[in-house]
Amino acid sequence: MNKQTEIEKDLAQLPILEYVFFKPEEIIFAKEVRDLCEGNGCGMYNTNWACPPAVGSIETCREKCQAYDKAMLFTTATEMASSFDMKGWMDARVEHEALTDQVADVFRRYDKNALILSTEGCTVCKKCAYPDAPCRFPECMYPATEGYGIMVMQMAPALNISYNNGANTVTYFSMVLFNE
């Protein structure tokens, strides 16, 4: 049995909405995504190890991703009271990150060097050690897909994954890169 088959058995036990395996060469990188980070759209730019500039240039991120054999994109979707339910968005993100921890555990059983990318930068520590000291919890810190310059909005439909799961829902994405 191959590694992907074993991983899929383990993933079947988790509340993942959708997932797909693909080749890292299929990842869509876009300067526009990184520009949003640099414009400080989410407020995380230059504040932690999971976001730019700490993650490196888009080219560096591309090289990191393409050094792996395989990738997997997965989602969660959460219904909310309304599309303006900011507390619902944050709660859904916390749940997604907890699931990302579980997915990371699965992959790291098969490849201890798997690269885990997730949402909006790291919030593990109340105050990040960046830039004065190394990350205190590198095994828990997942760089943001957006910080890597990855255009999830275009990738999802190309990989037959729903980007939008309906009115009053929030969909979060994480990506895992691993070697077979």
> What are the tens digits of pLDDT across the range 96-136?
999 999 999 999 999 999 999 998 778 888 899 999 999 99
Angle between helix 86-110 and 3-11 (nearest 10): 140
pLDDT digits 0-9 by tens, 89-100: 889 999 999 999
**How many domains does one find in the chain?**
1
Backbone angles phi, psi at 105, to 5 degrees: -60, -40
DSSP-H helix ranges across the chain:
3-11, 31-38, 58-66, 86-110, 152-158
180, 65 Cβ separation under 8 angstroms: no
| pTM across the whole model | 0.93
pLDDT at site 86: 85
Domain that holds residue 107: 3-178
pLDDT over 90 (residue 34): no
Q: How far is CA 67 from CA 48, 51, 119, 130, 137, in A?
A: 24, 20, 21, 26, 23
